[in-house]
């Protein structure tokens, strides 16, 4: 069978956990940070987990992850 190509942009943005969940970095931590509270910025540093329907799409882009 032919090898499947990994979508490189998705590979740089998402990681698959051991249990099969899809981790991602949260948005809104690039600029205008002075208006955001310290607690909000701290929570944005933590990894987010995609919903099941979104994760299904990403798993199709990462066949070997």
Q: What is the pLDDT of residue 10?
A: 98
pTM of the model: 0.86
- Report the C-alpha gap between 49 and 58 in whole angstroms: 12
Residue 7 φ/ψ, nearest 5 degrees: -75, 115
According to CATH, the topology of domain 8-61 is Factor Xa Inhibitor (4.10.410)
User: Over pLDDT 90: what percentage of the chain?
Assistant: 98
Average pLDDT over residues 9-27: 97
> Based on the number of CB atoms within 10 Å of its own CB, is 13 exposed (0-12), middle (13-18) or buried (19 or more)?
middle
């Amino acid at each position: 069978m032919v090898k499947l190509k990994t979508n490189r942009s998705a590979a740089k943005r998402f990681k698959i956990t051991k249990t099969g969940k899809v981790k991602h970095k949260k948005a809104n931590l690039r600029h205008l940070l002075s208006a955001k509270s310290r607690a909000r910025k701290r929570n944005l540093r933590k990894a987010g987990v995609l919903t099941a329907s979104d994760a299904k799409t990403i798993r199709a882009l990462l066949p070997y992850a």
